[in-house]
Structure 1
């Protein structure tokens, strides 16, 4: 009777702990948790930029730059998105967007060029 109880207890522990190699490991969950979410530049553009720059970057409302014709480099774009323009036309987004989002948006505006 004691042997049956020990076997039953052992079987219970094995089942309760997952009991085999078929059980999913914790490593993929950790790897997925560390993966950064993809930045949705189109959504940011629609929410933050489209009112002044328009759908394709050419609208120019309130003196906004035509981004299809702009020859500004990546560093300039990152700076102006982060800090805004000196004349106050461009809003600063440094406290609204993350550094990664700002870089992604600067690249998005570079891709609008003709």
Structure 2
């Protein structure tokens, strides 16, 4: 049992990790709207994103995009969070987060690149 736990933990981290800048194939229609005030993007980040993207968006675990260097627009970010990346590195969150949470998280990721 002690040998199985680290393997299980490792598998969960890999499955939860996000990924690189891929070409969006099905970008949903989206507006650049402010995040709803009742969505705790910091909590979602800590629970769903920090394992691969890190605290400041630049950790890059398992090929996760460096969000400090990312220049993608909101529509692309919403698509990647919703559907995952084409290479399968980024997990799709369409069945985990609400559309409003996805929109809020896409906006949240913009803060990591101050040059946008």
User: Which structure is larger by alpha-carbon Rg, 1 or 2?
Assistant: 1
Matched with 2:101 is 101
Matched with 1:64 is 64
Structure 1: segments with no counterpart, 5+ residues: 1-35
Distance 2:81 2:73 in 1: 12
Q: CA deviation at 1:68?
A: 0.8
In the superposition, the TM-score normalised over structure 1's length comes to 0.67
SS of the residue corresponding to residue 38 of structure 1 reads: coil
Provide runs of 4+ in structure 1 moved above 2 Å.
none
Report which structure shows greater RCO (CA 8 Å, sep ≥6): 2
Equivalent pairs counted in the alignment come to 79
Structure 2: segments with no counterpart, 5+ residues: 1-35
Q: Does 1:39 align with 2:75?
A: no
Q: CA deviation at 1:37?
A: 6.7
SS of the residue corresponding to residue 80 of structure 1 reads: helix
Q: CA deviation at 1:112?
A: 1.2
Distance 2:64 2:37 in 1: 30
Q: CA RMSD in A?
A: 1.2
Distance 2:65 2:112 in 1: 12
In the superposition, the TM-score normalised over structure 2's length comes to 0.66
Q: CA deviation at 1:107?
A: 0.2
Distance 2:38 2:101 in 1: 10
Distance 2:59 2:75 in 1: 23
